[in-house]
Structure 1
């Protein structure tokens, strides 16, 4: 990461005060105001549990009708400053939204694509060591219903179909970590998922890197996320005079929250519609 670019971005970040960067802000009020400022904003969106409803397995999520149209319109209105920020790999993100391809930060900050038609790049994220990955993968054998997802830079153990196995999974991970105290790994608890990744990157580091590149550079980020893994991004929004919203819960440091992904999709659609109305 180029720290000089990061420092310069922070110095150039918009200082608009008509939308507070802290305190509780009604989402609908923000939509009306942001519609007039989209050319100064960057829209950053988590996927699972934020844009898309959670499903029994990661492969069963689906993109509701109209969402791709809304995202493409936002991409146009922001001159390309819209990105998906996910724990999923870029390849997985593309499969979900096919045939559309959006700018994205994937793998919890391990991968990045600045524009929909650009090449994906790794952001200095080393793959997980093979033997460590093998030992962690074996945890899936603890119970039927535990689903193993190998993301390359991380490993996820989904137990939505085996909720009784939650304690056993985390105990097994703790034993491996105790046996390998110097292994540079981080455990990410999520919604019915335990994810293990290299400790040298996260969603926040990916977002900071993203914001040093055009067309994101110099804009005010608006981030929406739902899970523990999104909290690192919530925490850095004040540094960029940005706004954060959580989904399904009142997370610390956010302007407000949405009850469910459907509310997020409706809010984004309104953002586009209000922008069109403001331009008349």
Structure 2
């Protein structure tokens, strides 16, 4: 990981290695982690992501060391998150803040997030017919159009979404551009609102959070970390306002494993 000397997002960053002591003792920390592009390498389709050997065990050990204050923060639904990491389960904020599970023993709850209107969803889903290779993912609270297999269709997808929004100016929806994905969700909730709600519950309450994310949707969480006396780190790019950045998900996985090593061998102030 690297510490960013500039936060303007322009040019090549001047960087130095960041000591893991930047993160407080795990007994005082809340660990918040995005999944795709952060913990896991991106894949051609959402279903093709792969959990490397040892990652689930690392997360589970961090969950124990933090007394349960580790959560996955994702645009994926809680059900999808559980399928990816099965048989392990973790506390999580899913659906871009639409769902939350505070602990592995608690039931998942919706956070004031109504499902997307059925007719609107059908109109948006029809965009997938623009080109072979556009993959449709229905997340309940949102709809994602993946075009990693059809990069030429990017402009056409966003134009089609814009036409629908122009036709329905009062529809309470928000467009989230991502890495080869255009996601449309109900407005009024974000990953940040989900994290803020999560941090009001034990065992997260009163701890210092640190969040690692990679995409545009993670920027809402980057922005609120100072309000929580927390830290944020980006992956693959130097995002504005972060304390440091990682080159790729494998760096994140290695760093998390080293947090456990440090916890077992040293005492950080």
TM-score (norm 1): 0.89
What is the CA deviation profile of residues 24-82 of structure 1, one whole-angstrom value per residue up to 9, with x for unaligned ones? 996641x2353x61111100000000000000000000100010111011001100000
**Secondary structure of 1:126 counterpart:** coil
- Corresponding residue for 1:14? none
Contact kept, 8 Å, 2:27 with 2:65, in 1: the verdict is yes
Do residues 235 (structure 1) and 223 (structure 2) align? yes
Distance (whole Å) between structure 2 residues aligned to residue 115 and residue 278 of structure 1: 28
State the aligned residue count: 259
SS in 2 for 1:222: strand
Q: Tell me how far apart the structure 1 counterparts of residues 82 and 21 of structure 2 sit (CA, whole Å).
A: 30
Q: Does residue 32 of structure 1 match 2:21?
A: yes
4+ residue segments displaced more than 6 Å: 22-25
User: What is the CA–CA distance in structure 1 between the aligned matches of 2:51 and 2:75, rounded to whole Å?
Assistant: 17
- Is residue 154 of structure 1 aligned with residue 109 of structure 2? no
**Matched residue SS, 1:208:** helix
| Structure 1 residues 33 and 244: alpha-carbon distance in aligned structure 2, compared to 1, 3 A threshold | closer
- Structure 1 residue runs of 5 or longer lacking an equivalent are 1-21
Cα distance, 1:117 vs structure 2: 2.2
1:74 aligns with 2:42: no
1:60 paired with 2:33, answer no
* Cα contact 2:18–2:244 (8 A) shared by 1: no
Give me the CA root mean square deviation. 1.9
Supply the distance in 2 between the matched residues of 1:144 and 1:206 (Cα, whole angstroms): 34
Distance 1:278 1:27 in 2: 19
| 8 A Cα contact 1:140 1:157, kept in partner | yes
For normalisation by structure 2, the TM-score amounts to 0.93
Query: 1:208-223, aligned counterparts within 5 Å?
Result: 208-223=196-211
Q: Which 5+ residue runs of structure 2 have no aligned equivalent?
A: 1-5, 8-13
1:42 partnered with 2:30 = yes
Q: Does 1:203 align with 2:179?
A: no
Q: 1:27 to 1:194 in 2, by over 3 A?
A: farther
